Amino acid sequence: MGPPFRFNRNEKGSRLSSLGLAWDLVVSLRNLSTYRKKRDFEKTTEPSGETAVAPSKRRRFVIQKHDASRLHYDLRLEFDGVFKSWAVTRGPSLDPHDKRLAVEVEDHPLDYGDFEGTIPKGEYGGGTVQLWDRGYWSPEGGKSPQEAFDGGDLKFNLDGTRLQGSWVLVRMHGDRYGGKRTNWLLITHGEGSEK
Ligand code: MN
Dist. CA 103–CA 184, nearest whole Å: 6
Give 165-177 pLDDT, tens digit per residue: 999 999 997 655 5
Beta bridge partners of 183: 103
Dist. CA 62–CA 76, nearest whole Å: 5
Q: What is the mean pLDDT of residues 98-112?
A: 95
**pLDDT confidence tier of residue 123, bands split at 50, 70 and 90:** very high
Q: How far is the CA of 74 from the centre of ligand 1 (A)?
A: 5
Give 41-96 pLDDT, tens digit per residue: 999 999 988 888 887 889 999 999 999 999 999 999 999 889 999 999 999 999 99
* pLDDT(150) > 90: yes
Do the Cβ atoms of 166 and 190 come closer than 8 Å?
Answer: yes
Give 23-50 pLDDT, tens digit per residue: 666 656 668 989 999 999 999 999 988 8
Q: How far is the CA of 19 from the centre of ligand 1 (A)?
A: 33
**pLDDT confidence tier of residue 186, bands split at 50, 70 and 90:** very high
Q: How far is the CA of 72 from the centre of ligand 1 (A)?
A: 7
Q: How far is the CA of 120 from the centre of ligand 1 (A)?
A: 13
Q: How far is the CA of 87 from the centre of ligand 1 (A)?
A: 6
Q: How far is the CA of 66 from the centre of ligand 1 (A)?
A: 5
Q: How far is the CA of 128 from the centre of ligand 1 (A)?
A: 9
